[in-house]
Amino acid sequence: ALDDLGEPGEAFAWYTEGHTIKKAHEPEGAAPGMAFMETLRTALTPEILERFQGMGHPSAKPVLIVGMPRSGTTLVEQILASHPRAAGAGELGLLPYFRNNMPDLLGVSAEFPDCLPDLTRDLIQDFAESTYLWRLAKAGPDAERVSDKLPHNFMNLGLFALLFPNARIVHCRRDPVDTCVSIYCQNFAGRHAYAHDLQDLGRYYRAYEALMAHWQSVLPMPILDLDYQALVDDPATESARLLDFL
């Protein structure tokens, strides 16, 4: 309300007070997420990706829209879903589910990503067909492309590449300060422990940038960087870029 009234300083003090309260319930901060991103950069190497070459599902229907929260993922999905040959499935939790439950699905004790060497063609094909593509078909039965816009799937791009090597990834970017301020001023549902301290938020953003640079260098599939400000300033040109990419 204070922000709407043009009192950003006073508003920011209350945003900080709100985060102080939420931090008491999510005291872990950014450290676990940053550590996991570093683990992904170490574990998902070109060699491990090459080991699974030819095991993924051939479908090109999935479109993963990723980026930090508040970076334009919803707008990009709305543009995509307005096309008669495409549909949007919203924020699906299927890739995090597959990642977190992979040890149980494989019957092994090692956690992800240590269990990756045990991953089989049968499990890849079954999850891709019976779970992921089945869910996309519900969102767009006749669509050639269907998007999944869970922002934090930027952590799951290596896994997505194993499942669907012919699919497409759209990476939504926005000015880092705009992104972080927008995150700080949003009361998210679910756990966003990295967001309750400005230094934590800045460090987490830099870890995300490093992970995306890693994916850009190792994944054998195209990633389109789409800038939020460019999309807002020139929607026709940027929308055409998006549709051409897909």
Query: What does the pLDDT average to over 193-197?
Result: 94
Query: What does the pLDDT average to over 167-196?
Result: 94
CA angle 230, 231, 234 (to 5 degrees): 75
Q: Over 90: is that where the pLDDT of 99 sits?
A: yes
- Edge-first strand listing for the sheet containing 62-66: 86-88, 145-148, 62-66, 168-173, 223-227
- Whether the CB-CB separation of 220 and 47 falls below 8 Å is answered with no
Q: Tell me the pLDDT of the chain averaged across its residues.
A: 95
Would you give the DSSP letter of residue 86?
A: E
Residue partners of 33: CB distance under 8 A and separation at least 6: 193, 194, 204, 207
- Whether the CB-CB separation of 89 and 146 falls below 8 Å is answered with yes
pTM as predicted: 0.93
Band of residue 191 on the pLDDT scale cut at 50, 70, 90: confident
Per-residue CA distances from 237 to 77, 78, 244 (Å) = 16, 16, 11
Distance in angstroms (rounded) separating the CA atoms of residues 167 and 55: 14
